[in-house]
Amino acid sequence: MLKITYTETGVYLERLYYTLEELVSLRVSLAMRLGQRLCVEPGTATILLPLRYKNALSALDRETEIAYCVCDSEFLEVELHGTWIAQDVQIQDGVFITEVSDRAEYILMKLWRDSRDFLALPR
């Protein structure tokens, strides 16, 4: 399972070894203890990757777990289906959880890590 965290400073991917139910249960317990509101709903999330990774993603696209489209001359957008967890539906900071195959997790994590180096380079 992949966790995508959206914050003001960026997007972060992480592999999780919890089930979706376990993670939601932990988040609900934490929100209740802190007296915070929590929204959990199905949805989609996207991450940007350099266009040079298009061939690596094409194999995953055939598995129908993810979809991607070219955004511009440098980037493509990867779309994932899963569950959005945030304090409010309208808040852009939150966590997105998606369940994909181990192979898809591995490839997405590798491409995302490699892309951080690419994005840090001056253009």
- Tell me what pLDDT residue 93 has: 78
When pLDDT is cut at 50, 70 and 90, the band that residue 64 belongs to is low
Strands (E), 8-117: 10-15, 39-50, 67-70, 75-86, 94-98
State pLDDT tens for residues 26-63: 999 999 999 999 999 999 999 999 999 988 888 776 66
pLDDT in the model for residue 66:
82
Structure tokens at 78: 């990867």
User: Is the pLDDT score of 120 beyond 70?
Assistant: no
The confidence score (pLDDT) of residue 123 equals 46
Position 15 scores a pLDDT of 94
Question: How many domains, the chain?
Answer: 1
- Note down the domain range covering 98: 2-120
CA dist., res. 1 & res. 20, Å (int): 8
Q: What is the pLDDT of residues 69-107, one digit of tens each?
A: 998 989 999 999 999 998 877 777 789 999 988 888 999
User: Which residue intervals of 20-101 are DSSP H helices?
Assistant: 20-34, 54-62
